[in-house]
């Protein structure tokens, strides 16, 4: 059994029932992705369209593909050809572009609204107080299926520091779920990465995006235009 397989099986054994593991596969090879899928991963997450275009046609094992990075409108047409869910919807303009491209392709796209829970100027995502309006607006697009929320939270060395941001996002999620919006389903709460997923699960995440803890540290980083 390879290192990736061992890591996947260890993490899956630790996850509570109902929590989905997304293997964040940024810059990883098709062979590495296939090893993760063989070990039990059902969802592959990609931050960059170029990376997904390189490996998606080569990976032959069945899996769902989630886009988990910042998506530029000019790349939506290509993105909807690959992905089953876009976790990073953060503006009406992006919603309009996804709707237009999905209508042309006769496809519906599941989306999560990305919440800038840390109010970081350099981060994508909608501010917490603006989330309900975007959820309602996106839900009106007939080719979009709003399924929930996603947040990154500020990156710090201490996983515990992410807890207030996860808690705030969970609070918005529960408020929206309580409204029982007719065109949006609050079912997916995507929070937490390799260093913080345990905290995220404690705060209600039912989807966690894990890369390094599965694949190990990247040998080098690539400069890729998102």
Residue 115 contacts by C-beta under 8 Å, 6 or more apart in sequence?
125, 126, 127, 128, 131, 149, 150, 151, 169, 172
Query: Does pTM top 0.75 for this prediction?
Result: yes
Report the alpha-carbon distance of residue 126 to residue 22 in Å, rounded. 22
Q: Any idea what DSSP says for residue 162?
A: G
Q: According to the model, what pLDDT value does residue 121 have?
A: 87
pLDDT digits (tens, 9 = 90+) for 154-170: 887 799 999 999 999 99
Burial of 188 (0-12, 13-18, 19+ CB in 10 A): buried
- Mean of the per-residue pLDDT values for the chain? 94
Report the alpha-carbon distance of residue 29 to residue 216 in Å, rounded. 13
pLDDT digits (tens, 9 = 90+) for 13-56: 999 999 999 999 999 999 999 999 999 999 999 999 999 999 99
3-215 CATH: 3.20.20.10
Report the alpha-carbon distance of residue 49 to residue 80 in Å, rounded. 10
Q: How confident is residue 135, by pLDDT bands cut at 50, 70 and 90?
A: very high
Q: According to the model, what pLDDT value does residue 219 have?
A: 57
Alpha helices in the chain (DSSP H): 3-14, 30-38, 49-55, 76-82, 92-105, 131-139, 163-179, 197-202, 212-215
When pLDDT is averaged across residues 63-78 and rounded to a whole number, the result is 98
8-12, 36-40, 83-87, 157-161: the lowest-pLDDT one: 157-161
Neighbours of 103 (CB within 10 A): 13
Residue 99 contacts by C-beta under 8 Å, 6 or more apart in sequence?
141, 142, 143, 144
Tokens read off for 71: 């998506």
CA 186 to centroid of chain Cα atoms: 15
């Amino acid at each position: 059994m390879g290192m990736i397989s061992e890591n996947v099986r260890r993490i899956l054994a630790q996850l509570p029932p109902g929590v989905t593991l997304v293997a964040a596969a940024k810059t990883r090879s098709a062979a590495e992705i296939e090893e993760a899928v063989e070990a039990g991963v059902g969802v592959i997450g990609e931050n960059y369209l170029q990376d997904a275009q390189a490996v998606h046609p080569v990976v032959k094992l069945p899996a769902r593909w989630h886009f988990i990075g910042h998506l530029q409108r000019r790349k939506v047409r290509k993105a909807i050809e690959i992905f089953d869910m876009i976790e990073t919807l953060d503006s009406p303009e992006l919603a309009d572009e996804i709707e237009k491209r999905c209508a042309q392709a006769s496809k519906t796209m599941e989306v999560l609204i990305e919440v800038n829970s840390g109010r970081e100027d350099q981060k994508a995502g909608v501010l917490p107080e603006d989330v309900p309006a975007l959820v309602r607006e996106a839900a009106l697009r007939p080719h979009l299926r709003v399924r929930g929320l996603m947040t990154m939270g500020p990156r710090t060395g201490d996983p515990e520091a992410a807890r207030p941001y996860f808690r705030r996002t969970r609070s918005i999620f529960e408020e929206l779920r309580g409204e029982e919006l007719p065109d949006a389903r609050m079912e997916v709460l995507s929070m937490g990465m390799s260093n913080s997923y345990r905290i995220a699960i404690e705060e209600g995440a039912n989807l966690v995006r894990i890369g390094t803890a599965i694949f190990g540290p990247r040998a080098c980083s690539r400069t890729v235009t998102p």
